[in-house]
Amino acid sequence: MVLDPQFIWNGIVVGSIISVSALGLTLIFGILNFINIAYGDYMATGAYLAFALNAQIGLPLGVAIVAGVAGMAAGAVLIDKLVFEHFRTSSPVTLLIVSIGVAFFIRNLIRAIWGPTGNFYDVPIEANPNLFGVRYSVEQLSIIVASLLLLTAVYVLLRRTRIGIAMRAASDDRTLTRIRGVDTERLVLYVWIAGGAIAGLGGIMLGLDAQIRPNMGFTALIPIFAATILGGIGDPKGAVAGGFAIGILQEVSVVVVPSEYKFAVALAALIVGLLLRPDGLFGEATR
Amino acid sequence: MTEGEMTEGEMTEGEMTEGGSSGGSSSDPIPVGTLAPFSQGLGWVGPNAARGRDVALQSINEELVLGREVEINEQDTETTPQAAVSGFTTLDQAGVVAMLGPSSSVIPNLFQPISDAGLPTLSVSAGTIQMNDVGGPDAYLWRTVPSDSIAGRAQGQYALDQGFESMAVSYKDDKGSQSFSASVADYFTGQGGSQVADVPLAIETDSYRSEVQEIVDSEPDVISMTAGTEVSALFMQNYIEAGADIPLFLGNDVLTPDFIERVGADVMAESPVFGQAPAPGPAFDQFEQRHRDLHGEAPGTFGAAGYDAMNLIALAAVRGGAADRETITQNINPVARPDGTEVSTFADGKSELEAGNEINYQGASNPQDFNEFGDPVGPFAVLEVSDASWAELTTFSADELTT
C-alpha cells in the first residue's frame, strides 16, 4: 500500500496546531503546576474574538488574528485575577477542578453570545492548489510558518532571555527561585500572558483550518493533552515533538483505522510512548 | 377496517362536536405532547418541527377540536435515548392524548414504551429503516416523513440513471445518518453498482480532510454523504478544498437555504452537488405562506412534517369524536384514506367530517398516504443548487420507488 503524501501534509498541519497549543498548555503547567482544563476554551475564545472582528465586524483577517491573540492574553490574565489567584496555594487537584468550572463557564458564555452552530472566518472556500500531488491552502502554509516562528521564539525566550531562564528555574523549583530573589508572581503574570496568547493563536489556527464552534477547544484537548504528556509534561520541546507526532499519526491512521477512532490513535500513541519513554520523549518529564 | 375505527354512520352528532373525550373535562385544553431534540446534536430539528406544528396549531385553536383548544407539552430528547425515555415518561404521566415524536437516533428506544402506554405517536423526523416494519395502529406509531429506504432508493436510482457505477459512502457516525447511508448503499449495490469506500465521520472533530482524501483515493464515480448541518458544512469545505470534482449527494437534512448560505451559494452552485427530498406535498405552498406569516421566515427541514402531524392528530380526534389515545390511534389512518375527500387544512377537514364525509388529508410535506406500518409513501425529488436555492432536477413517483 502506497501512502498518499496528502495524509502526511494534513498531519503536519494538524501537528502544527497541536504543537502550538501543547506548548502553551505545558508552559502554564510548568510554572503553575496544574492542568488547566479551561485551556481548550481559551483557544475557542481566541478563535471567536478573531471571528467577531473578522466575519462580523469586517476587519481584515490579519488584524483580527492579532486582536484575538492579544484579547485572549488579556483574558487569561483577567481569569487568573478573578479566579485562579485565589487558589494559588491550593493543591493541583483543587486547581484542576476549579479549571473545569471555568471551562464550563467560558464555553456556555460563548454559546450564549455566538450560538451553538459552527462558523467560518471570512476566507473564500475554493479548491486548493496542487503541488506534486499535495493540495495545500494559503491558510495551511500560514499555520505551519506561524507555528515554526512561534516555536522558535519561545525557544529563544526560554534559552536566551532573563525572563525565560527565570521561567525555567521556576518550572524546576518555584520556592527556590523565589528565595533566589525572582518575583515569581510577576513570572506567573508573564506565563498567563504567554499561555493565553498561545492558546488564542492555537484556537485561531484551528478555526482557520476547520470551523469555529463553541466546543472546538474542548474536543481538541485530547490530542493536546496526549502531545503534552507524550513529550513530558512541562517540557516545551517535548510538547512540540509530541504535537507533531500525534498530528501526523492521527491523520495517517485513517488509511488503516476508521476515522472515528482518530482520537483513540492519539491515546494509543500516548500509552505506547509512556511505556517506552515514561519521562517523556526527551526524558525531562515534570520538570 | 381496524377495530375501533369509526365509520361515517357511527359518528353521532354529539361525538362530532363536543364531549366523549378523555384527557380532561370538556372545557379543558386537549394535551398533546411534542418529544423532539431541542438541544445537543440534532437540536435544530425540534425548533423547526415545532414552528411547523404551531402553524397548524394556530388554525386548530381557532376552529377548536370538539370545542376545545389544544395545549402543547414540549419535552427535549437532548438527542439522547436516556433523555428521550425520561421525556416520554413525563408526557405519558402528564396525560397527553397524542405525541409528535422524536428522531431516528432515539425512537427505537421508545417502540416498547409507546406501545405499553398506548400513546399514539407521529414522528416528524425519523427516517430510520428500523421503523420500516414497526408502526401503524397496533404499534401506536406513525411517521410523517418517508423512510430512509425510500429516500435511499431515490438517491441510488438517480446515481444509476446518470451511469455512475461506483459509489463512496460517508456518513456522520450516528444512527440516523448510518441508516440513511446504508439504504443508499444497499439499493445502489443491489442494482449492480459497487461501493468502493465506507467512511464514517466522527461527530466531534475539527477536520474531515483526511476522510475526504480517503474517499478521493478510492476513485468513486459518485459520493453519498449523509450528515447534519455542522458535519456537512465542514465536509463540504474540505471536499471543495480537495478539488474533488466528483458528484456529491448530500443527505436531506441539509437541503435548506440556510445551508447554501452557510457554505456559499456560488461555491455550492459550481460544485456537482445534489440532494434528494420528498417532493413537497400538495399543501406545501399554503403552509409555507402561513409559516412566513406566523414566524417571519420560511419553514426549515421537518417543519412541514410537524405541521402534518399536528393536523392529523387533531383531525383524528374530530373524526373519532373523542380526544383520547385510543380514539386518535384508530382514526389516524382513516383521515388520510385515499378514497376520502381531499383536504389540506384542519379547517377544511373538520368541515368535511362534520358534514359526515370521509377525508383524505393531503399534507404539506407529502400526501401522507400511510402503508400498513404507518409510513407515508410519496414522490421524491432530486435537487441541485441554482440561484442560491435548491431546484428540482427530476422526480421519482411513489410507484417508481416502491416497486
Please report residues of B whose CB lies closer than 8 A to that of A7.
Answer: 210, 213
pLDDT of A97 over the 50 cut: yes
Task: Establish if A283 belongs to a structural domain.
Answer: no
Question: How far, in Å, CA of B119 to CA of B115, rounded?
Answer: 7
Residues B328 and B216 in one domain: no
Domain containing residue B139: CATH number? 3.40.50.2300
Residues B12 and B127 in one domain: yes
What residues of chain B score a pLDDT lower than 70? 1-26, 41, 403
Residues B255 and B388 in one domain: yes
Q: What is the pLDDT of residue A2?
A: 66
Residues B158 and B132 in one domain: no
Sequence-distant contacts of B174-178: CB under 8 A, at least 24 apart:
B174/B41, B174/B105, B174/B203, B175/B104, B175/B105, B175/B108, B175/B128, B176/B42, B176/B103, B176/B104, B176/B105, B176/B126, B176/B127, B176/B128, B177/B226, B177/B227, B177/B228, B177/B251
- pLDDT, one tens digit per residue, over B135-162 is 999 999 999 998 888 888 889 999 999 9
Q: What is the pLDDT of residue B328?
A: 97
Strands B248-250 and B98-101: unpaired
Residues B265 and B396 in one domain: yes
Contacts with B, A 190-219, CB within 8 Å: 206, 209-211, 213, 215-216, 219
Beta-carbon separation of B213 and A206 below 8 A = no
- pLDDT, one tens digit per residue, over B251-301 is 877 887 778 888 888 888 888 999 888 777 888 999 999 999 999 988 887
Task: Establish if A121 belongs to a structural domain.
Answer: no
Place A59 in a pLDDT band, splitting at 50, 70 and 90: very high
Q: What is the pLDDT of residue B180?
A: 85
Interacting residues of B387 by C-beta distance below 8 A, sequence separation 6+ = B265, B269
pLDDT of A229 over the 80 cut: yes
Local structure of B195: helix, strand or coil:
strand
Residues B231 and B113 in one domain: no
Question: How far, in Å, CA of A74 to CA of A80, rounded?
Answer: 10
Domain encompassing residue B61: 8-145+302-361
Residues B259 and B390 in one domain: yes
Nearest CA to CA, how far is B213 from chain A (Å)? Answer: 7
pLDDT of A82 over the 90 cut: yes
Local structure of B197: helix, strand or coil:
strand
Task: Establish if B287 belongs to a structural domain.
Answer: no
Task: Establish if A282 belongs to a structural domain.
Answer: no
More confident residue, A236 or B32: B32
Say which amino acid occupies A53. L
Residues B137 and B207 in one domain: no
Residues B388 and B242 in one domain: yes
Task: Establish if B1 belongs to a structural domain.
Answer: no
Q: What is the pLDDT of residue B18?
A: 35
Task: Establish if A140 belongs to a structural domain.
Answer: yes
Q: Which of B174, B181, B241 to mutate to test the interface with A (most CBs of A within 10 A)?
A: B241
Residues B209 and B83 in one domain: no
- Cell numbers standing for residue B299: 419553514
Please report residues of A whose CB lies closer than 8 A to that of B204.
Answer: 215, 219
Domain encompassing residue A158: 5-116+134-276
Overall domain count for chain A = 1
Q: What is the pLDDT of residue B16?
A: 38
Torsion of CA A239, A245, A247, A249, to 10 degrees: -150
Task: Establish if B336 belongs to a structural domain.
Answer: yes
Question: How far, in Å, CA of A236 to CA of A239, rounded?
Answer: 5
Residues B141 and B157 in one domain: no
For chain B, the farthest-separated pair of C-alpha atoms sits apart, in whole angstroms, at 69
| Inter-CA distances, A282 with A100, A230, B307, Å | 29, 10, 63
Q: What is the pLDDT of residue A30?
A: 82
Q: What is the pLDDT of residue B20?
A: 35
Q: Of the spans A149-158, A162-171, B78-87, B89-98, which averages the highest pLDDT?
A: B89-98
The number of CA neighbours under 13 Å toward the Cβ of B180 is 32
DSSP code for A60: -
DSSP secondary structure, B260-291, as one string: HHHH-HHHHHHS-EEEEEEPPPTTHHHHHHHH
Place of cell 458528484: B247
ipTM of the complex: 0.75
DSSP code for A87: G
Task: Establish if A209 belongs to a structural domain.
Answer: yes
Please report residues of B whose CB lies closer than 8 A to that of A4.
Answer: 213, 217
Q: Which helix (H) or strand (E) holds B124?
A: none
pLDDT of A286 over the 50 cut: no
Q: What is the pLDDT of residue B25?
A: 57
Q: What is the pLDDT of residue B256?
A: 77
Task: Establish if A235 belongs to a structural domain.
Answer: yes
Overall domain count for chain B = 2
Instruction: Locate all alpha helices (DSSP H) within B119-228, ordered by sequence.
Output: 148-161, 175-190, 209-217
Strands B341-343 and B359-361: parallel
Please report residues of A whose CB lies closer than 8 A to that of B229.
Answer: 117
- Cell numbers standing for residue A30: 510548568
Beta-carbon separation of A258 and B200 below 8 A = yes
Q: What is the pLDDT of residue A284?
A: 54
Q: What is the pLDDT of residue B108?
A: 92
For chain A, the farthest-separated pair of C-alpha atoms sits apart, in whole angstroms, at 60
Mean pLDDT of A13-25: 92
Residues B178 and B66 in one domain: no
Closest residue of chain B to A128, computed from CA coordinates: B241
- Cell numbers standing for residue A83: 479566579
Domain containing residue A47: CATH number? 1.10.3470
pLDDT of A226 over the 90 cut: no
Question: How far, in Å, CA of B68 to CA of B28, rounded?
Answer: 7
